[in-house]
Amino acid sequence: MCNINVSLENDMLTILNGENMEEFEKIDIKNLIYNQKYESKLSLQNQENKIYLLEEIVAENEEQCRSGITVYADEGKIFYKIAPIEDIYKTFIHLRYKVLNVKLTQKYLSFIVFAYIVNKYDFKISNLKFSIDSKDYINTTLKQYESNNSNIKLLFKNNIHKYKFDMDKLLKSDESINNYITYNLTVNGIELQYKIGIRDIRMALRIKARKYYNLPFKSKYIKDSAIHIRRTIGSNLILVRRKKEPIEETRRFRILESKVVSKTLYTVGKIVTKCRVKKINLFYEKFSSKAEEGVYELCQKCAQSKKTKNFFIIDSNSEDYKRIKEDKKVVKKFSFKYYWLIYNASRFIASEAPSHINILRSNNKYLRKATYDKKFIFLQHGIIYMKNLDANSSFEVGKEGEAEYFIVSSEKEKKVVQQMLGYRPNQLLKTGLAMYSMIDYKHINESSDDIVTVMLTWKPYEEALHNFEKSSYYQNLINIYNILKEFIEPNKIKIVAHPKVYEMLSETDMKDVIWQGPISEILKITKLFITDYSSACYNAFYQGAGVLFYQPDLELYEKLNGKLVPKDDEYIGPRVFNREELVTSLKKFITDGSINLKAIRTIEHEKIYGLINEFSDGKNIDRIYEKLKELKIV
């Protein structure tokens, strides 16, 4: 039996065989890839399960994500890793389960689950809950075993549990719209969350059906709410609760989106689409309620084609609808023609995902499935050359937003889309984005009004925080705002709030400076754009603004979200990483309340931008149209 000794000192991890001092391993933990498991070179003589080291690592800027390090033996081998402390404990405490039944009625939501815990390292577990959110949960108990057993045997040992939630209470909750169904437990003061789900045999057989996991498989309209259960692409169950849209209260909507009508239209549409000689293309923008990103103008061009039928979908409540409603190719959202076209279309050509053609998070399984069935040309609504999208993008190949063809702005962006989202080179059409044909190039200049726009990125890993004002989003925003007030008039500072935090931010002292209109409108007058990781920086820069990147939490952000796309020498503006550097930069770029564009927007920055967005002639729509003709899509 080996006598293993482990120590951690000054970031150096030492694993030593106490019986043979010449047998040891030294690891600089700064070189370890976060959340990756490593196997030690040392071996064991037995099959013992033992933890040699488990402790938290306190690092700068990690208040919201506590990290840990562990070294342990498992079945005769020694492993080590650095990861979030919750993931460290999940290495040792395993939840085994199978969801046997989910029932959704007007009065309750219930689950029947076969579940138990494998706890072979004998941790003391407490506060076990079956949970929907922080307020809606049921205290429970699960049996614990030292090793994996046969599920068949355990079925007969009281491991089947039923959990029932009152619907009135669920619908009164002020929690977020999407909530994972989880088991939560506490160990050594750390709360662990285990997402539960339902796997599909098609996934096991590797049939390309993952995008259909997003469809509701249980749904109800209850009082003034729409509620459904869906799965993620990883099979995890999510409860979706939202208030009904006004249109959902109408009799017309209830008939046209009823199960009978939807299933009939879906079935007929599948047949008609295959037989149709003249294919139908549907165009739309965000929420099918705008006509400002060049998609309508592209539709007008495509409408010249005699080989296809082309229509633009837009909500009649939109301000843009009033401007274009006389065009016969414009179709009113939620009209009968709209539904007929969705089920019969061959392609969607849009700047947003297919889900935007209807109500987001719709309860209508058949309509949503129809949108996922269609071929999709993604025109994009912003250049992809900032955030890592591997785990978070619905446009990744195999997901519900997968595109047949994908519009890009440069060779650089093309390479990134290939690597991150899995597209083939011939699927990526380098024409420039349609939206850039709708805005003037470099119209902002030294004489423009000194408007500063601040637009920060919401961090997914902070969604579990109960106190918004403790989030790095709020802390960074308040820091920037308070510093800016020393250099420029407060009424010239505009805050663009992320949709997920708009309401929370509106309840803080920042409420009076939150921008209320479309993002496109504020970018048209922005002279200095301050962000951390938002790709809207490319839109602002195109119009002539200077860009300043404030990234105090860069290390943590990249650790949890993946490395940012631009290399250090590919940023289109200066970068600062703390409060002091921000103050120093603003002193350099703003004098007597006036923004010095030449100081912040250099010739070198313009050269870099020209490699990320190769088109500035305003003819992107023309190029897209020619590509679509070449591919016989129009």
CATH code of the domain in which 101 resides: 2.60.40
**Main-chain phi, psi angles of 462, to 5 degrees:** -105, 5
Q: What's the helix, strand, coil split of the chain in %, to 5?
A: 30, 30, 40
Higher pLDDT, 424 or 64: 424
Last residue of one domain, picked from the residues 437, 463, 478: 437
Tell me, yes or no, whether 630 lies in a domain: no
Q: Given this model, what pLDDT does residue 124 score? A: 96
Higher pLDDT, 211 or 568: 568
Based on the domain organization, do 472 and 593 belong to the same domain?
yes
Q: How large is the average pLDDT for residues 334-338?
A: 97
Q: Given this model, what pLDDT does residue 146 score? A: 86
Q: Given this model, what pLDDT does residue 43 score? A: 79
Three-state DSSP class for residue 115:
strand
Pair of tokens at residue 546 = 């200077």
How many domains in the chain?
A: 4
Q: Given this model, what pLDDT does residue 596 score? A: 95
Based on the domain organization, do 520 and 476 belong to the same domain?
yes
Which among 264, 260, 278, 250 has a CA at the least distance from the CA of 335?
A: 250
Q: Given this model, what pLDDT does residue 63 score? A: 47
Task: Give the confidence band of 61 by pLDDT, cuts at 50, 70, 90.
Answer: very low
Question: Measured between alpha carbons, how far is residue 389 from residues 127, 136, 395 in Å?
Answer: 35, 31, 9
What are the residue ranges of helices labelled H in 452-513? 472-484, 502-506
CATH number at residue 560: 3.40.50
Asked whether the beta carbons of 265 and 344 are under 8 A apart, the reply is no
Tell me, yes or no, whether 540 lies in a domain: yes
Percentage of the residues of the chain whose pLDDT score is greater than 70: 94
- CA angle, 180 as apex, 179 and 184 as ends, to 5°? 115
Task: Give the confidence band of 62 by pLDDT, cuts at 50, 70, 90.
Answer: very low
Tell me, yes or no, whether 394 lies in a domain: yes
Based on the domain organization, do 34 and 124 belong to the same domain?
no
Which among 227, 218, 259 has a CA at the least distance from the CA of 99?
A: 218
CB-neighbour burial class of residue 598 (10 A; exposed 0-12, middle 13-18, buried 19+)? exposed
Q: Is the pLDDT of residue 153 over 70?
A: no
Based on the domain organization, do 530 and 459 belong to the same domain?
yes
Q: What is the sign, positive or negative, of the torsion defined by CA atoms of 338, 339, 345, 349?
A: positive
- CA angle, 108 as apex, 105 and 110 as ends, to 5°? 95
How many Å is the Cα radius of gyration of the chain?
27
Task: Give the confidence band of 3 by pLDDT, cuts at 50, 70, 90.
Answer: confident
Last residue of one domain, picked from the residues 389, 413, 437: 437
Based on the domain organization, do 163 and 279 belong to the same domain?
no
Pair of tokens at residue 584 = 């120093």
Mean pLDDT of the chain: 91
Based on the domain organization, do 117 and 182 belong to the same domain?
yes
Based on the domain organization, do 277 and 365 belong to the same domain?
yes
Based on the domain organization, do 492 and 518 belong to the same domain?
yes
Pair of tokens at residue 465 = 């925080």
Residue found by looking up tokens 């109500």 in the block: 359
Last residue of one domain, picked from the residues 183, 201, 219: 201
Strand arrangement, sheet containing 38-43: 38-43, 77-84, 67-74, 50-57
Question: Measured between alpha carbons, how far is residue 54 from residues 7, 59, 135, 248, 482 in Å?
Answer: 11, 16, 31, 53, 41
Q: Given this model, what pLDDT does residue 398 score? A: 86
Which range of residues forms the domain containing residue 412?
251-437
Q: Is the pLDDT of residue 463 over 70?
A: no
Task: Give the confidence band of 111 by pLDDT, cuts at 50, 70, 90.
Answer: very high
Based on the domain organization, do 59 and 101 belong to the same domain?
no
Q: Given this model, what pLDDT does residue 511 score? A: 79
Task: Give the confidence band of 216 by pLDDT, cuts at 50, 70, 90.
Answer: very high
Tell me, yes or no, whether 227 lies in a domain: no
Q: Cα separation of 206 and 193, whole Å?
A: 27
Tell me, yes or no, whether 498 lies in a domain: yes
Higher pLDDT, 209 or 280: 280
Tell me, yes or no, whether 276 lies in a domain: yes
Q: How large is the average pLDDT for residues 399-404?
A: 92
Beta strands 24-28 and 12-17, pairing class: antiparallel
Q: Cα separation of 499 and 522, whole Å?
A: 16
Q: Cα separation of 433 and 294, whole Å?
A: 9
Three-state DSSP class for residue 355:
helix
Q: Cα separation of 352 and 282, whole Å?
A: 12
**Main-chain phi, psi angles of 310, to 5 degrees:** -130, 130
Q: 413-450, pLDDT tens digit by residue?
A: 999 999 999 999 999 999 999 999 999 999 999 999 99
Beta bridge pairs of residue 79: 39, 72
Question: Measured between alpha carbons, how far is residue 618 from residues 437, 441, 624 in Å?
Answer: 4, 8, 12
- CA angle, 199 as apex, 193 and 205 as ends, to 5°? 140
Q: Given this model, what pLDDT does residue 258 score? A: 96
Tell me, yes or no, whether 228 lies in a domain: no
Task: Give the confidence band of 76 by pLDDT, cuts at 50, 70, 90.
Answer: confident
How many CB atoms within 10 Å of residue 562? Answer: 15
Based on the domain organization, do 470 and 407 belong to the same domain?
no
Asked whether the beta carbons of 184 and 127 are under 8 A apart, the reply is yes
Based on the domain organization, do 272 and 408 belong to the same domain?
yes
Q: Cα separation of 443 and 445, whole Å?
A: 6
Q: Given this model, what pLDDT does residue 211 score? A: 79
Q: Is the pLDDT of residue 399 over 50?
A: yes
Q: Given this model, what pLDDT does residue 58 score? A: 67
Q: Cα separation of 527 and 268, whole Å?
A: 53
Three-state DSSP class for residue 613:
coil
Based on the domain organization, do 381 and 329 belong to the same domain?
yes
Q: Given this model, what pLDDT does residue 60 score? A: 46
Q: How large is the average pLDDT for residues 314-328?
A: 95
Rounded to 10 degrees, what is the CA torsion of 27, 28, 29, 32?
-80
Show the beta-strand stretches assigned E in 108-217: 108-118, 125-131, 137-139, 144-145, 160-166, 178-180, 182-187, 190-195
Q: Given this model, what pLDDT does residue 2 score? A: 64
Tell me, yes or no, whether 618 lies in a domain: no
Q: Cα separation of 557 and 475, whole Å?
A: 15
Which residues have CB under 8 Å from 620's CB, separation 6+? Answer: 294, 431, 432, 433, 434, 436, 437
Asked whether the beta carbons of 555 and 61 are under 8 A apart, the reply is yes
